[in-house]
Amino acid sequence: MSTATHGHVRAARPSDGSAILTLEELFPSDRMSMRSVRRFLHAANARTWIAELDGAVVGNLILLMRKGSHVARIYSVVVAPQARGRRFGERLVQAAEAEAAHLGLQAISLEVRADNHAARALYAKLGYSEAASLPGYYEDGGDGLRLRKAIHKR
C-alpha cells in the first residue's frame, strides 16, 4: 500500500486554512468563515487533522477541548465526495480519539443530523452511542443527535 494511493491523515498546518475552508463549503448548513478556520488552527484548545490523497487535502476534522471539561467535542468532520469510502472519515476520528486519550480526556461528544446516514453509520461503527436527541438543532430546523464515546487511556 503506498501513501500516494491510499492517502494519510496528519496534523493540520496553518497553511491548510484555505483547503479546509473549501472542504467546509461542502456542508449544507452551519458553514464556517475563514476567520474561524484560522482561529481553530491557532487555538490552544483546538486540534485539526487533514486527510491527504495524492498531495491534495481531501478531508479534515476539528476537535475542540474546553477548559475544566473531560469531554472533547468533534466540531467538524468532512471528506471530499471524490475521496469518500477510503476510510478517511474513520482515520480522522481515530486520530481525534488518540489525541483525546493522550490528553487524558474521558469522552468525545459530537452532534450529527438525524438524517445523515453516512455519518451516523461511521460513528456507530466506531462505537459512538446516542446521548441526547436535539429536535430542531440545525439552522434549517433539521433535527440533531448528540453522540458520545468513552475514551480510555492508552
Ligand X SMILES: CC(C)(COP(=O)(O)OP(=O)(O)OC[C@H]1O[C@@H](n2cnc3c(N)ncnc32)[C@H](O)[C@@H]1OP(=O)(O)O)[C@@H](O)C(=O)NCCC(=O)NCCS
Which listed range, 11-19, 36-44, 111-119, 136-144, lies at the site for ligand X (CB under 6 A)? 111-119
Looking up cell 482515520 gives: 91
> Quick check: 112 binds ligand X (CB under 6 A)?
yes
| Residue nearest ligand X, CB atom distance | 89
Distance CA 68, CA 129 (A): 23
Which listed range, 5-13, 33-41, 82-90, 131-139, lies at the site for ligand X (CB under 6 A)? 82-90
Residue 40 has a CB neighbour count (10 Å cut-off) of 22
Binding mask 90-109 for ligand X (x = CB under 6 A): x-------------------
Per the CB < 8 A criterion, the answer to whether 144 and 110 are in contact is no
Nearest approach, Cβ of 12 to ligand X (angstroms)?
16
Residue 20 has a CB neighbour count (10 Å cut-off) of 25
In the three-class reduction of DSSP (H, G, I as helix; E, B as strand; rest coil), residue 106 is classed as coil
> Quick check: 78 binds ligand X (CB under 6 A)?
yes
> Quick check: 119 binds ligand X (CB under 6 A)?
yes
Distance CA 63, CA 76 (A): 7
Report the site for ligand X in 25-64 (rule: CB under 6 A): none
> Quick check: 147 binds ligand X (CB under 6 A)?
no
